[in-house]
Structure 1
Amino acid sequence: MKGLYCKLSEAGEVKFIIQETSVPTTIGNHQVKVQVKGCALSPVDIKVSICLASSAACSFCKEPCGVTIFAPDFRILPLDAEMSGLCDVVLIDEYNLVQKPEKVSWFEAAGAIKDALRAYTALHTLARMAVGHTLLVLDGASPFGLLAIQLAHYHGVKVLATAVSLEDQKFLEQLRPSVARVIGVWDSKVDLVDSCLEETGGLGVDIVIDTGVRLYEEESEVKKHLPYKHDIISLLGVGGHWVTTEDNLQLDPPDSRNLFLKAASVSFLNEEVWEASRARQGRYLHIMKDVVEKLATGTFRPLVENPVPLYEATVSMEMVQRRQLRKRVVVKL
């Protein structure tokens, strides 16, 4: 059978290829052979994948590394799995499986599971959201942002969301009352901090979930729609929680001082930790079961493209890696 893999050149360039692969003939204890119906594509964190795929130390750890091909994370197998999740059949530990409700489609389940897991990690585990809190979701029209909005609204949280384009703003406006206010950061006349403080009566928001931040004013054009770290700290309320996806976040002493004065906290969002710790396995499965139940009841409505066939997987994956697609892509097998 064929599987989708990530190939890394000597120059560090990433290429996705479909190559022949096979399922091990020996099934280990607590393993299950699973037929794959649909597989969602997500950007690959090359540094993390190389570290996990290599038995030797890697360049990320400042040591030589010989890994050139590995299976990217397609959210059906643990991050350190050697098999690609995009195969007809995979072996997976029984403790990583939950039953899909009959009324939930394969593609809807595949397209929602990663973003929903991130939303639970951000809002429940890191931010400890509660009824009456105010949440700011940056780039609310993204697949992750949409599920974060839906989860927060379900739990009685007031949601503010930013839109990075006019089209996104129109889309988010249709989600009322799930979204209390849409802040169009694509418009240079709109000030994010002023909008949040106005909406909260000057108190600031309780929770912020970002999609990256600008550390310095002279950063690349790609990050032009991202807020400055100072802006996020400024709009946080007393005791607020900032959940960031910026793995290279640097806080200067004045930033730390402002957070200290507000008794605010910063947490790093990495949903893969659920699979990295056996102590978290029970909670991880509880989250997965709750996700599919909310899909069945319509609480979660993921943002998914029409399923694509396997022969288009490499092209689709390259576009996903370059973040050129706004909806979650699912490959049909």
Structure 2
Amino acid sequence: MKGLYCRAGESDAEPKFVIQETSLPEVLGSHLVRVQVKACGLSPVDFKLLEDLGIQRDLIPVGREVAGVVLQVGDKVSFFQPEDEVVGILPLDSPCSGLCDVIEIDEHYLVQKPEKLSSVCVAGALRDGLCAHTALHTHARMAAGHTLLVMDGASSFGLMCIQLACHHGVKVLTTSHSPQKHTFLEQLRPSVGVQDPLVVKVIPVYNGSSDLLPVVLEETGGLGVDIVVDSGVRLHEEESEKTKLLPHKHDIISVLGVGGHWVTSHKDLQLDPPDCRFLYLKSASLTFLNHEVWTASSAQQGRYLHILKDVVEKMSAGVLRPQPEEAVPLYEATVTMATVQCHQKKKAVVQL
């Protein structure tokens, strides 16, 4: 049996992705589930996070969002039976690559997959759904009547945030990074119910001058938004090709209303004393979105499973409608993962 693994490069060297032979133990553990993988999502490997958690290996398993069918269960497994369709995310310390034909995973990392939901769809969108749910429910305490600003709403994560927020009666504003994305966001409609636009205002940021603050204040009657969810921020005024479309940290703080919540994906965010003073004056809060915290800690395992179940059920019901991801065959996995790792591609799905 073969799986996809990453051999971390020395210092600044590019990591290498290789197909390696692997095998499973003959005896299945008491709480383990043996799953035949049907589809696997590929996301970048966070080497710094693995180092921080003390997970250091010569070969790091790649591909952690999996969907498949249960083949065998351990004698103490209570949630699943053979032939159940399941979906889940392998923990950071899992020895298995999700791109193996058959994997072993603890039952507490899996949930039932709704029958009408395709394996490719759920494997490709599960991580973004988990991130959106964590950002809006766990961190921002989203409620009906709130106003939300989603940065780069046409991204897979931004799209999930928009759809989830609209489902809960939240007024959504977003930014667009190209004319095509702008048109896409303006044409977003719910799958059921009243066909009003999902986004009340799409703010273009691709034309050089950002009107973020005046537009947000106009839409909110000068009050600012209750929640901001970013997908990265600019820490300095100088712009590079990578950061020119990202909002400056001061712009985000400026658009927050009193008591607002800023949920950031920026791992190395630095705030100066004036920024902190501005947040203090608004009694606003800042939260870091680390979606790996659920599998890195077992403290809230039940809550994590509840979130996963809620996400897949909302996908099945059409509340969350991810952009369809074209599946790639297994023989293209190494090349595809290399493009994902260097951020030339946001994510990918491999169909087995």
The answer to whether TM tops 0.5 is yes
For the residue of structure 2 that corresponds to 1:120, the secondary structure is helix
State how far apart, in whole Å, the 1-side matches of 2:336 and 2:267 are.
25
Provide the residue aligned with 1:325 in structure 2: 345
State how far apart, in whole Å, the 2-side matches of 1:17 and 1:51 are.
24
RMSD of the alignment, in Å? 1.5
Structure 1 residue 25 corresponds to structure 2 residue 15: no
Structure 1 residue 71 corresponds to structure 2 residue 61: yes
Do the aligned partners of residues 190 and 215 (structure 1) sit closer, same or farther apart at CA in structure 2, a change above 3 Å counting?
closer
Provide the residue aligned with 2:103 in structure 1: 90
For the residue of structure 2 that corresponds to 1:221, the secondary structure is coil
For the residue of structure 2 that corresponds to 1:279, the secondary structure is coil
Question: Displacement, 1:189?
Answer: 3.5
For the residue of structure 2 that corresponds to 1:238, the secondary structure is strand
State how far apart, in whole Å, the 1-side matches of 2:21 and 2:239 are.
42
TM-score, structure 1 normalization:
0.92
- Kindly report which structure 2 residues correspond to 1:57-206, keeping only aligned pairs within 5 A, or say none: 67-72=57-62, 74-75=64-65, 76-176=89-189, 177-206=197-226
Question: Displacement, 1:262?
Answer: 0.3
Whether the aligned pair in 1 keeps the contact of 2:229 and 2:264 (CA below 8 Å) is yes
Question: Displacement, 1:24?
Answer: 2.4
Between 1:168-177 and 1:34-43, the stretch displaced more is 168-177
State how far apart, in whole Å, the 1-side matches of 2:247 and 2:298 are.
36
Whether the aligned pair in 2 keeps the contact of 1:53 and 1:82 (CA below 8 Å) is no
Question: Displacement, 1:80?
Answer: 1.7
State how far apart, in whole Å, the 2-side matches of 1:254 and 1:172 are.
34
Provide the residue aligned with 1:62 in structure 2: none
Whether the aligned pair in 2 keeps the contact of 1:215 and 1:228 (CA below 8 Å) is yes
Question: Displacement, 1:116?
Answer: 0.5
Question: Displacement, 1:325?
Answer: 2.6
Unpaired runs of 5+ residues, structure 1, are 56-66
Provide the residue aligned with 2:40 in structure 1: 39
Question: Displacement, 1:243?
Answer: 0.2
Question: Displacement, 1:305?
Answer: 2.1
1:29-63 per-position Cα deviation (integer Å, ceiling 9, x unaligned): 211101110011112211112444646xxxxxxxx
Whether the aligned pair in 2 keeps the contact of 1:73 and 1:79 (CA below 8 Å) is no
State how far apart, in whole Å, the 2-side matches of 1:273 and 1:115 are.
14
**Residue 251 of structure 1: which of 271, 274, 278 is its match?**
271
TM-score, structure 2 normalization:
0.88
Letter in 2 for 1:11: S
For the residue of structure 2 that corresponds to 1:288, the secondary structure is helix
Letter in 2 for 1:236: L
Whether the aligned pair in 1 keeps the contact of 2:31 and 2:107 (CA below 8 Å) is yes
More helix by share: 1
Whether the aligned pair in 1 keeps the contact of 2:41 and 2:63 (CA below 8 Å) is no
For the residue of structure 2 that corresponds to 1:36, the secondary structure is strand
1:118-151 per-position Cα deviation (integer Å, ceiling 9, x unaligned): 0111000000000011111111111111111110
Whether the aligned pair in 1 keeps the contact of 2:4 and 2:63 (CA below 8 Å) is no
For the residue of structure 1 that corresponds to 2:340, the secondary structure is helix
